[in-house]
Structure 1
């Protein structure tokens, strides 16, 4: 019995060996080179999909150290000047030795993009990811797609943040011109995430997605440098924070609906090959928003203190951090009442709803 099974497994390899032996010397060399290149490419692909460099669930702590609102100008004595006249002053009104505080939200957006494309390889645009498993998309298999889904979720959160930075946070009451660096970053982050060096739709050469996203990092950093020099604007008003949180609540609300739909309509447990995509996309989104919302607390420090939001914001950050503790080795989409195969989608969805509830409560307080 065992011999029969081994013979069956070995048969394709024996056949390929026979074909290779019948080829001419030149064809053998060509085929050998092709196979060697594929082996190297698959090795690189495997490494990039399985190794998560600089992944740290506590990374957001780096954004909680600010002692003043973004854009504020420290006085020579160390006090904070936060009146509207100083915030809205032009570059010509600023003295060369004055410095303003950088935006932690912008720093978090730049760091998350750097994590996706510099500290790690951007999986979605890799050639072997696009080719799939013998033509089958990796999303339809249980292999090599978790990190790609995570990156896509984090990327969506950063892209959503970039839109709000351009439309509201990086300008005064929506009446001033949009900041050119923030506009550039937003445009770059909207670039197709699947582009390799060549595309068939539309046909022709392309700039790879990670190269464009690296340009967004430069634009974010350039804006923060200008903000530090008091040559840019950050409008840290309560209504801007309200609108920002409302957009985030809608974004994760859509993700929650996606998880619920998959959880309710598919109960294949460990054999649901699409459950891992949904899970890791949502996980990446929460990972990014944990840093962004921690950074928002620093950037809107005055508003949060005046509206006495410290306690509920602590709870918001606590729920976001707790959600990152859910990282099973194999994602299961079993029935919610099942006792053998758990429902990881329902578990993560629960935390998303808790986070969204906190966001709605903060929004309600700000709207009073």
Structure 2
């Protein structure tokens, strides 16, 4: 009996040792997985910070060495192309439709992208509707007719077809128009009425953005007609701010291009000062944001209200833009 008892005791010790080894291996696997997860999260943090940086203001596109000078309208078309290329190829690419980290975690850049996209859509529509047509009964340009609806494709689609694919097709159509324009096979009419029509769209956008930015403050409701203006929810204040910042970034480039393509009509209307003021006000919206977040201080308190600062610049730009549009409409 003692011998049998010894055998059973030996079995028990062996089982305990095996169980302990298995537990150590499980703990080791868990620790390795946690370590890899931590490394992944740290990498996502740094990559996300890099991807979330806004592009700076770009220099204007110059004529190629084979050209002695740029044709009328080429600067505007090339600038629209450059804006779309930046939207698709900046660090991280187009982030609005990302479904994987770190892109899916980023909040500010997708709204910045939407602000840029709105301006690309507006100027492309203006070119298709007015600038590439001699009169209202003229046939529209086929490449612009192809590009404009592609730029209005769902900006959050990530598969079958992906947003980037549709925007790239639109970019190719826009590039075909630019090639034909340089070859004298397409038209661009730099007239005062065409410029004034697009400026009206821009003014509407700036006015709307100014109102949305101003709605960040918690004051008594202000009525626009019969509808009260509601305060922007706290979690959406930075969304409106970065959308406005992206829109202003795109407008700086477009107005610089317009200054060249419509130079004759701007000089004839003595509108250089108004246009330069608009560009200066919009450039001021691109100053670095030193705070780690968009602040929403009220009144004359200790904290800034970044939304109201942005609204101030946009309102002043819009006032000058209204003057510029009035000059375009005068005979």
Please state if 1:55 is matched with 2:45.
Answer: no
Q: 1:212 aligns with which of 145, 150, 166?
A: 166
Which segment drifts farther, 167-176 or 354-363?
A: 167-176
Summarize the Cα distance change of 1:52–1:114 in structure 2 as closer, same or farther, 3 Å threshold: farther
Shift of 1:104: 1.5
Using the TM superposition, give the Cα deviation of residue 345 of structure 1 relative to its aligned residue in structure 2, in angstroms.
0.1
Which residue of structure 2 lines up, in the alignment, with residue 292 of structure 1?
254
Equivalent residues of 2:55, 2:90 under 8 A apart: no
Q: What is the DSSP-based 3-state SS (H/G/I as helix, E as strand, rest coil) of the residue aligned with 2:270?
A: coil
> 1:249 — aligned with what?
203
Q: In the alignment, does 2:139 pair up with 1:174?
A: no
> When the two structures are aligned, how many residues end up with a matched partner?
289
Structure 2, unaligned stretches of length 5 or more?
A: 1-22, 221-232
Pick one of 229, 233, 239 that aligns with 2:193: 239
Q: Could you tell me the TM-score, scaled by structure 2's length?
A: 0.77
Q: Alpha-carbon deviation of 1:174?
A: 2.3
Question: Is residue 96 of structure 2 the alignment partner of residue 124 of structure 1?
Answer: yes
Partner of 1:191, secondary structure, is: coil
Per the alignment, residue 80 of structure 2 pairs with 109
Matches of 2:127 and 2:49 in 1, distance apart? Answer: 31
1:355 aligns to 2:326 (yes or no):
no
Shift of 1:161: 1.1
CA distance in 1 between counterparts of 2:172 and 2:143 reads: 9
Distance in 1, matches of 2:129 and 2:218, equals: 37
- Compared CA separation, residues 174 and 336, structure 1 to 2 (3 A): farther
Which structure 1 residue ranges, 5 or more long, are not aligned? 1-17, 67-73, 81-98, 133-137, 139-143, 198-205
1:279 aligns with 2:250: no
- The higher relative CO (CA closer than 8 Å, separation ≥ 6) is in 1
- After superposition, the C-alpha distances for 1:1-29 in whole angstroms (9 at most, x for unaligned) are xxxxxxxxxxxxxxxxx9x939xx9xx9x
TM-superposed CA distance for 1:52, in Å, is: 5.5
- 1:323, distance to aligned residue in structure 2 (A): 1.9
**TM-score with structure 1 length normalisation?**
0.70
What's the counterpart of residue 157 of structure 1?
Answer: 119
Contact 1:53–1:119 (8 Å) recurs in 2? no
SS in 1 for 2:215: helix
Structure 2 distance, partners of 1:321, 1:240, is: 24
Mark the CA change 1:278 to 1:192 in structure 2 (over 3 Å): closer, same or farther: same
After superposition, the C-alpha distances for 1:170-196 in whole angstroms (9 at most, x for unaligned) are 211222111111122211110111111
Distance (whole Å) between structure 2 residues aligned to residue 45 and residue 195 of structure 1: 25
Q: Following the alignment from structure 1 to structure 2, what is the Cα–Cα distance between the partners of residues 250 and 176?
A: 27
Compared CA separation, residues 129 and 187, structure 1 to 2 (3 A): farther
The aligned counterpart of 1:21 is: 26
Deviation >6 Å, runs of 4+? 35-39
Post-superposition Cα deviations, 1:295-325, rounded to whole Å, max 9, x if no partner, equal 1111111100111111222212111112211
